[in-house]
Amino acid sequence: MWNQWIKKKQGHNTGFTLFEILIAIFILGIVISTIYGAYSGTFSIVDTVTQEAEIYAMARIATERIVEDLEALYLPIDIPSDDSPNPYGLITKVGMGDEDFGGLIFTSTAHISFTGQAPDGMIARIAYFLRKEDDSEVFALYRMDKLSPGGGLEDEMSSGDILCEDLKGVEFVYYDAKGDPHEAWDSGSDEWGNRVPAMVTVKLLFANPYNPDSPYLFSTGVAIPAGLRGQG
C-alpha cells in the first residue's frame, strides 16, 4: 500500500504548465519595469538637482562679483574740465555682436590680483562682456580686470576670465538719480557729463537643458555710492 501511495503522488508531480510560466514571466516583467522606472526617476531627479545646484552656484558667484565691482566704482571728486579723455566713469555698448548686451566697462577699486604683483583694492579698469560658446546657442560672461585705465570697450574685450557659462542672455539697466531707467550709459557723453548711475540692476538668464522654454532667471540690484554722490 505504501508503494502505491508513493507512485500515486509521483504521478501528480508533472511540474508547471506553459501558461503558469508565462504568467510568472509577465508578473516578473511588471516588477522589473516598476523598479527600473523608480530608479530612472530617482536618477533623473538627482541629475536635475545637480544641474540646478551648479547653475545657482554660478549665478550667486557672478551676481556677488558684479555687485562688489559696481559698489566700488571709482569716480574722482575733482575731474579735469579740459577736453582730455576721461578714463573714469562707466560706459556701455549696446548691440555688440548678435546680442542686446554688448559690454560694460568702468573704473573700480575692486581689483583682484591673481599674480600677487599688485595688492587687491587698487584702481582698475573692469569690463564685462559676452562671448558665444563655440557653435552653441549659449554664451559665457567674461570679466576683465586690469590696472591700466583708458581704452575703448572693444579694446578691453581682447582678454578676460570666464565668470559664468550657459547663459541665454544678460541685461543691465541703469538708473539715474531721479530713478529713471536707461538701457545704456556713457559717462563721457554730454548727457551725463562725467556722472555714473545711481543704481544698476542685473538679470542673468541661464539655459535650462530640461525645459528650454523656461530658462533660469536670476536678478539683483546695486546702489552705487559714487553715483549717488555725483548726482545728489
- Greater confidence (139 vs 102) lies with 139
134: pLDDT strictly greater than 80? no
- Measure the CA angle with vertex 59, ends 122 and 165; round to 5°: 90
pLDDT tier, 56 (very low <50, low <70, confident <90, very high otherwise): very high
Cα three-residue angle 117-111-76, rounded to 5 degrees: 120
Q: Which residues fall within 8 angstroms of residue 227, CB to CB, at 6 or more apart? A: 73, 75, 177, 195, 196, 197, 198, 199
- pLDDT average, residue stretch 123-134: 83
Q: Which cell numbers in the block locate residue 116?
A: 600677487
Quick one: pLDDT band at residue 90, thresholds 50, 70, 90?
A: confident
Please check the confidence at residue 103 and state whether its pLDDT lies above 50: yes
Name the more confident of 210 and 8. Answer: 210
Give me 189's grid cell: 557723453
Burial of 46 (0-12, 13-18, 19+ CB in 10 A): exposed
Q: What pLDDT is stored for residue 81 in this prediction?
A: 53
- Mean pLDDT score of the chain, rounded to an integer? 77
Name the 3-class secondary structure at 38.
helix
Whole-angstrom distance, CA of residue 44 vs CA of residue 83: 61
Section 28-39 average pLDDT: 77
Report the first-to-last Cα separation within the chain, whole angstroms: 117
Q: Give Cα separations from 29 to 23, 24, 34, 139 (angstroms).
A: 10, 9, 9, 45
Bridge partners of residue 169, in order along the sequence? 205
pLDDT: which is higher, 45 or 213: 213
Interatomic CA distance for residues 128 and 198, integer angstroms = 19
Can you tell me the distance from the alpha carbon of 207 to that of 216, in angstroms, rounded to the nearest whole number?
6
